[in-house]
Amino acid sequence: QVQLQESGPGLVKPSGTLSLTCAVSGGSISGRSWWSWVRQPPGKGLEWIGETYHSGSTNYNPSLKSRVTISVDKSKNQFSLKLSSVTAADTAMYYCARNGGSTNFDHWGQGTLVTVSS
Amino acid sequence: QSVLTQPPSVSAAPGQKVTISCSGSSSSIGNNYVSWYQQLPGTAPKLLIFENNKRPSGIPDRFSGSKSGTSATLGITGLQTGDEADYYCGTWENSLTAVLFGGGTKLTVL
């Protein structure tokens, strides 16, 4: 059973860079799946941030594309998110998830809350 | 602002049936599979329906999905208090090359 676990700082200063890692266990990140980041501001809905494939290919939400980098580390079986120039609007629960095919997210991490504040 | 439109809330009594709609466009739902997610309070989303109408292992047949044109529907029968949650639809958007989620629907079981 594939499991995902997010990790990273829970507090980031405005204008700084948010950095999170998602460790994948119970399966290889080098399989046929795409790996995504999804966020959810407090009390609001889900927002897809972007995805990566083990080859390094990526797709990003156009509204965040200028600030987002998602990368994969096959040696550690993990993938990462960097979001630059953060503001309070980036405060959210951040989830990593596996796209099991046909854009269905069949495995999710438990989520990590990131607060942007000085 | 999401381009997949869901009603903000729906409600029904225990044992009854409810449907939740998700409206998109030809470049989203019209040409791609739809998935549905259940998010119980304080937890991560959980996949309920994939490829429009398929249920992952372990999801009871009280949950069903359908798609027609540029809209999709989630149906839940035999409502239980434990079904109270937020429900989201999701699909790929061809023109944006991105995943879209609906704005979410809060289900209340009265």
Q: Which two tokens stand for residue A19?
A: 């950095």
- Residue B24: exposure state from Cβ atoms within 10 A (0-12, 13-18, ≥19): buried
**In this predicted structure, what is the pLDDT of residue B2?**
54
If you average pLDDT over residues A15-39, what whole number do you get? Answer: 96
Q: What's the residue count for chain A?
A: 118
The residues in A 63-102 lying below 8 A from B, measured between CB atoms, are 95, 100, 102
Helix (H, G, I), strand (E, B) or coil at A90: helix
A41 touches chain B (CB under 8 A): no
**What residues of chain A lie within 8 A of the CB of B103, using their CB?**
45
Which residue of chain B has the CA closest to A5? Answer: B44
**Dihedrals φ, ψ of B93, to 5°?**
-115, 115
CA distance B11 to chain A (A): 19
Mean pLDDT of all residues belonging to chain B: 96
Question: Do residues B84 and B108 lie in contact, with contact meaning Cβ atoms separated by under 8 Å?
Answer: yes
How far does the CA of residue A86 sit from the closest CA of chain B (Å)? 20
Q: What is the pLDDT of residue B101?
A: 97
Q: How much is the mean pLDDT over chain A? A: 96
* pLDDT tier, A101 (very low <50, low <70, confident <90, very high otherwise): confident
- Among partner residues A48, A102, A108, which is closest to B51 by beta-carbon distance? A102
Query: Which own/partner pairs from A29-33 qualify as long-range (CB within 8 Å, at least 24 positions apart)?
Result: A29/A54, A29/A72, A29/A74, A29/A77, A29/A78, A29/A79, A30/A54, A30/A74, A32/A101, A33/A98, A33/A99, A33/A100, A33/A101
Structure token digits, residue A77: 């079986």
How far out from the chain centre does Cα B19 lie?
A: 9
Q: Is the pLDDT of residue A46 over 60?
A: yes
pLDDT value for B1: 47
Give pLDDT, residue B72: 98
pLDDT reading at B90 higher than 80: yes
B78: pLDDT strictly greater than 90? yes
A102 has a pLDDT exceeding 90: no
Please tell me which of the candidates A60, A102, A111 has its beta carbon nearest to residue B44.
A111
Query: Reduced to 3 states, what is the DSSP secondary structure of residue B77?
Result: coil
